[in-house]
Structure 1
Amino acid sequence: MNNAVSLSHSAQYLKKAVPMMVKYRMPVTPINYAIWYCYFQGNKPSLNIELDQVISEHQTCTQSKAKEIFDKHLSDEDLALFQEMSDKFHNTVENIQQDISITLGHSKSFSTSLIDSQNEINSLIDTNSFNDILGCVERLTDESIAMQDSAREFQTKLSVAYNEIKDLKEALNLSKEAADTDPLTGFYNRGKFDSDINDFCREYSEQTTESSLAALIMFDIDHFKRFNDDFGHQKGDEVIKLVAKKVKENLTDKAKVYRYGGEEFCITAYFDTINDLVAFAECIRQEIAKLAIRKKQDVNNKRAISASFGLAMLRPFTKSSVLVERADRALYIAKTHGRNRVEIAPDI
């Protein structure tokens, strides 16, 4: 593997490597990064073949298997790539800082020359001092040209650094987005929910005034197992996608939606009143209830889709675990009362 690559070039591989690790549930370790980096670099076909085979058989690559692939195809020098790119990033920042200092130095020198020249011209009141004035103007011209050259050079360096840092930032943003997103629905995933729900509760508790109502909405698709049993898992995935599409179409700006697990989802949102909260959930429920799915070979065998909803309003200083428990209890009540309905959690 060629280590002599630019930061921008490394970022291109990073854009591809990190999302693959996330997709196949592989931790972002130096070893995993090295084998995926080499995979997309494409200069070791045998590594690509072996990694493809492992992923095809297991839908992941364990740490022990990754180490085995690394030892077979790569070396300790390749393991340094991750650290090298980090070093390059920091070096780029340091170079920018140095260039700024140098350019500021030129700027200060030019400013000093301007002041000195102004003082000199003010002192040249004799009409016979034209030669001295011309000499002063000539020095200023030289200083100005030097300053412009320095500024142009600095602008070029800034442009190169900006592009490289922008590439790296985009790569890291993509990898973070991939790590937080459920690939089937495009919603945030369970890991993101576990992180966000704590912030959701804390931020609401820190509000100086309770000008809005915060709520957690939990819902899941009714009788989802039957879709998988009767239509197959691919149709089950299609059901989840159809429901996700309806939810997206009816989301508000103040709502975040998560795939909590399987056919279960969560929404955190702010509302003006309880009536607004219930109306929001009812709207989504009714839109989902309009959906149906069928087998391709049997146009008459349609199966309606519906979902049950549990709502829990957030009280100040409520722990996230309590809020989730209350929403889950409301969802259970909706299920026991016949499904395809909305229930509000009782206060506990």
Structure 2
Amino acid sequence: MTVRIDDTHRFAEMALAALRATGLCATPRNYELWYAHAEGKNPALSAHIQKAMDETGKVSQEKADALYDQLVQHDDISNDVINLVTRFHTEVTDLWDIVEKSGESASGHNEKLTSLSAQLRESTNNYPAVGTLLEGVLSVTKNMMSENANLENRLAASAEEVSNLQRDVEAIQAEAMRDALTGIANRATFDRSLDKHMTEAGEAKEPLALVLSDIDHFKKFNDTWGHQTGDQVLRFVADVMTANVKGKDLLARYGGEEFAIVLPGTTLKNAHMLADRIRTAVESRRLRKRRTDEDLGVVTMSMGVALLKEGETMEMLIERADNCLYAAKNSGRNRVIDEKEFSEMPQERQKGVA
């Protein structure tokens, strides 16, 4: 796709103007973040920027850094790695098929040559006059058999190497699709999975629900106990959620302390029930710091649930689930709010976070 110079200049001016308006320095990271916002290609980023603004329209550098780390820094890298590994995986699979077929062919020729050699030796007993000629043929046959044996050995070694390489590629591909800290699916995998399931739901006329969740007061854990304890909280929540997500459902780390669950074939009511079951399971356990055994208290979560509408884009579905999530936070946290409840709430409770 051709990039128009005028458009890039316009986006750059919009980004710089936005940096001035929000009170941020024009550092490369800040500029890249606001340029991506100005392009409008990442609705989730734009929505988070709006929520990060205070009453005067300013954004703190801390929030800007968090948005950059969550939604800009790793997205392209993760997608590129997955695309590269997928293409390489296809090439390796094709090579494996060729090697297998070649090995079968060589083995078949070897068996035929062995049979022919035995027949020729029997013929020399019946027709001594042609013995010299047949011995020559046997010599050629023996050489061909030896070459075929060498070829089979080389092909067998190559096949084993290709098989090992294929396993390595599959391991790399799986690693690229996982969040390093929690072991669940990462943001890039979530985007791909949601897009795929939305297409399938539309074709099959089946429901598709999306749950977005956020750990309440997560910053307090980090500030009070340190980032290592914050990581322990994230892994704990991921483990509890994993135990409750089954079958085709996908659990992913959406970014920071946010998690997402894609629920194909699930109604709004059932998705709400699952989200509340997870919320209760997380709240029911008290955490203790691993090294010192100090009591960390109870972890709670706020969740928003939305159901895919006909003709809706992925960005629209995510935004509606995100609005429900923030309404849950604004209503006191530690609760699940779905889009039906959201539509019936007073407007002042739908916006902002308490």
Normalising by the smaller structure, the TM-score range is 0.5 to 0.7
Q: What corresponds to 1:224 in structure 2?
A: 218
**Shift in alpha-carbon separation, 1:198–1:273, aligned structure 2, 3 A:** closer
**Larger relative contact order (Cα-Cα within 8 Å, sequence gap ≥ 6):** 1
Q: Which of residues 228, 237, 243 in structure 1 aligns to 2:231?
A: 237
Paired residues in the alignment total: 243
- CA distance in 1: counterparts of 2:241 and 2:107, whole angstroms: 58
Structure 2: any 5+ residue segments left out of the alignment?
1-87, 120-124, 344-354
Provide the secondary structure at the position in 2 that maps to 1:165.
helix
Give the SS at the match of 1:312.
strand
**Residue aligning to 2:281:** 287
Deviates further, 259-268 or 141-150: 141-150
Unaligned runs of 5+ in 1: 1-85, 118-128
How far apart are the structure 2 equivalents of 1:305 and 1:95? 51
2:276, 2:336 within 8 Å by CA — same for their partners in 1?
A: yes
Considering only aligned residues, what root-mean-square deviation do their CA atoms show, in Å? Answer: 4.3
- TM-score w.r.t. the length of structure 2 is 0.56
Structure-2 residue corresponding to 1:13: none
Mapped partners of 1:100, 1:261: distance in 2: 48
- 1:191 corresponding residue in structure 2: 188
Secondary structure, counterpart of 1:206 in structure 2: helix
Q: Which amino acid aligns with 2:102?
A: I
Aligned mates of 1:202, 1:100 — CA distance in 2: 40
**Which position in structure 1 is the counterpart of 2:337?**
343
Amino acid corresponding to residue 251 of structure 1 in structure 2: V
TM-score by length of 1: 0.57
Partner of 1:246: 240
**Does residue 179 of structure 1 match 2:181?**
no
Shift of 1:331: 0.7
Q: Which amino acid aligns with 1:254?
A: K
Q: For residue 23 of structure 1, what is the aligned residue in structure 2?
A: none
Task: Supply the distance in 1 between the matched residues of 2:247 and 2:103 (Cα, whole angstroms).
Answer: 44
Deviation at 1:143, TM superposition (A): 10
1:321 and 2:315 equivalent? yes
Distance 1:190 1:204 in 2: 21
Q: In 2, distance between residues paired with 1:342 and 1:94? A: 50
**1:195–1:303 Cα change, 3 Å:** same
Aligned counterparts of 1:282 and 1:156: Cα–Cα separation in 2: 60
Secondary structure in 1 matching 2:250: strand
Q: Distance in 1 between matches of 2:238 and 2:311?
A: 31
Equivalent of 2:102 in 79, 100, 103: 100
CA change 1:130–1:254 in 2 (3 A) is same
Matches within 5 A, 1:1-348: 93=95, 100=102, 103=105, 107=109, 110=112, 152-207=149-204, 210=205, 212-294=206-288, 299=294, 301-346=295-340
Alpha-carbon distance in structure 1 between the residues aligned to 2:277 and 2:153? 55
Counterpart Cα distance in 1 of 2:96 and 2:189: 34
TM-aligned CA distance change 1:193 to 1:105, over 3 Å:
closer
Whether the aligned pair in 2 keeps the contact of 1:202 and 1:317 (CA below 8 Å) is: no
Structure 2: how far apart are the matches of 1:298 and 1:107? Answer: 70
Task: Please state how far the C-alpha of 1:243 moved relative to its aligned partner.
Answer: 0.7
Q: Indicate the SS of the match to 1:309.
A: strand
Look up the SS of the partner of 1:186 in the other structure: coil
Identity of aligned residues (%): 31
Contact 2:302 2:329 in 1 (8 A): yes
